[in-house]
Amino acid sequence: MKFILINQFAPPAHAPTGILLSDLAETLRARGHEVEVICSDRAYGRATGLVAKLIEYTGFYAAAHRRLQRMNPPPDAVVSMTTPPFIGLTAAALKKKKNVPFMLWCMDLYPEALAAGGLLEKGGLLYRLLVRFTEKERDLADCIVTLGPDMSRVRSDCNVLEVPVWSRLKLSPESEKQARALRRERGWADDETICLYSGNMGRAHRVDEFSALAGSSIPKVRFVFCGTGPSKREWKEQVGDRFEWIDPVADDQLTAHLLSADIHLISQQPEWVGIVEPSKYQAACALERPVLFAGPQESAVAGWVRQFDNGWVIPPGDAEVVERVAAALSAPKAAPPNPFDAEALKNRLADRLEQMGAGQ
């Protein structure tokens, strides 16, 4: 069978969504299928302003639509991610014209994400217009892939397939050796507990509970923040010198960097629950590190932490839980083996695609 995968970015671009798409493509090719990826030729992260992004989006919509419509014979099935937003409408148009089934792989939900980020007024005219696009995209999809149980609530029918993201990171004696060396280089003692936030500091994330913990002056516990994002400046102004700030690391150092920490910090704002899923959790699981999650109890990450007993959950603004966690941080709990099997998750997607391509 022939499958088409659509996303704005794919390797060698380092976009996380592109890496997941590439992994799925490799799985399908290993099963003997033909796979073509439709992506942009623009560099990942180059367009930073809203206008620049809209221009890139428009160009990619048009190019993807032309490529799909000109395929003769058409593919057996199409997979569309959600970068850029509503790109699944190009696959929906192909389905309407040539009855080609398509899978909508939701990395985040639109226009909900735009409203949660303060870019749109929920219920406003533009929001309602975008909801119509969303409904068309989701209604025509033969399968909607969500990343967690809270995101799965967008649909209650049988078309939803829940597939959490996976991580390529792996434990090895060499990576653990590099992590120990990196701790020494950074001046972290062996008997210190390092709580590390690494990655995007965006609108979907929060810092209040981590700031409260750091202000407790827990002996031999450091709170270290590494990354970039629109909230970084605000966070630095808010927390003062409670956190240590380090520069982002190169991709080839990422495993050692994450392994150098004892606890991984993850957070989520309540208004973003079910709209995005923090992928930091799967990275921590892959490296068998416990997590400290600051976010709502009803979120997917909070549910996984409870299910797998690999960390702590601090609900937003819960000072009592902050106090209990502060007492426990100096002796981190052991994390279980990674509960997210990458091969099993990729095969779950591939199985459904084969069923779709065969008309089942």
- Residue that has been written with the tokens 């909801």 in this structure: 131
The fraction of the chain above a pLDDT of 70, given in percent, is: 97
- Is residue 205 predicted with pLDDT exceeding 90? yes
CB atoms within 10 A of CB 244: 16
Residues, the chain, total?
Answer: 360
CB atoms within 10 A of CB 72: 6
What is the C-alpha separation between 133 and 115, in angstroms, rounded? Answer: 15
Q: What angle do CA 274, 195, 205 make, to 5 degrees?
A: 25
User: What's the mean pLDDT in 325-337?
Assistant: 85
Task: Tell me the whole-structure pTM to 2 decimals.
Answer: 0.91
> What domains sit in the chain, N to C, each tagged with a CATH number?
2-166+342-357 (3.40.50.2000), 173-328 (3.40.50.2000)
Distances (CA, A) of 355 to 5, 77, 156, 358: 16, 10, 20, 5
DSSP for 245-294?
EE----GGGHHHHHHT-SEEEEE--GGGBTTB--THHHHHHHTT--EEEE
What is the C-alpha separation between 325 and 346, in angstroms, rounded? Answer: 35
For residue 54, the model assigns a pLDDT of: 84
- Whether 104 and 83 have beta carbons less than 8 Å apart is answered as no
**Identity of the residue numbered 15:** A
For residue 212, the model assigns a pLDDT of: 95
Sort 190 into a burial class: Cβ within 10 Å, 0-12 / 13-18 / 19+.
Answer: exposed
239-261 pLDDT, tens per residue? Answer: 988 999 999 998 889 999 999 99
For residue 351, the model assigns a pLDDT of: 97
User: What's the mean pLDDT in 284-288?
Assistant: 96
The fraction of the chain above a pLDDT of 90, given in percent, is: 80
What is the C-alpha separation between 139 and 131, in angstroms, rounded? Answer: 12
Q: SS3 for 144?
A: strand
- Is residue 13 predicted with pLDDT exceeding 90? no
For residue 334, the model assigns a pLDDT of: 80
96-111 pLDDT, tens per residue? Answer: 999 999 999 999 999 9
Least confident of 14-23, 52-61, 162-171: 52-61
Closest CA to 260 of 177, 152, 346: 177
For residue 152, the model assigns a pLDDT of: 85
Q: SS3 for 314?
A: strand
Sign of the Cα torsion 276, 196, 213, 308 reads: positive
Q: Cis peptide leading into 12, omega within 30 of 0?
A: yes
* 257 or 52, higher pLDDT: 257
* 15 or 178, higher pLDDT: 178
- Is residue 47 predicted with pLDDT exceeding 60? no
* 118 or 270, higher pLDDT: 270
Distances (CA, A) of 55 to 48, 58, 64, 109, 284: 11, 5, 14, 21, 36
User: What's the mean pLDDT in 175-201?
Assistant: 95
- Whether 277 and 293 have beta carbons less than 8 Å apart is answered as no
- Whether 29 and 61 have beta carbons less than 8 Å apart is answered as no
- Residue that has been written with the tokens 């629109």 in this structure: 230
- Terminal CA-CA length for the chain: 14
DSSP for 8-73?
S--TTS--HHHHHHHHHHHHHHHTT-EEEEE--SSPTT---SHHHHHHHHHHHHHHHHHHHHT-SS
Q: What is the CA radius of gyration of the chain?
A: 21
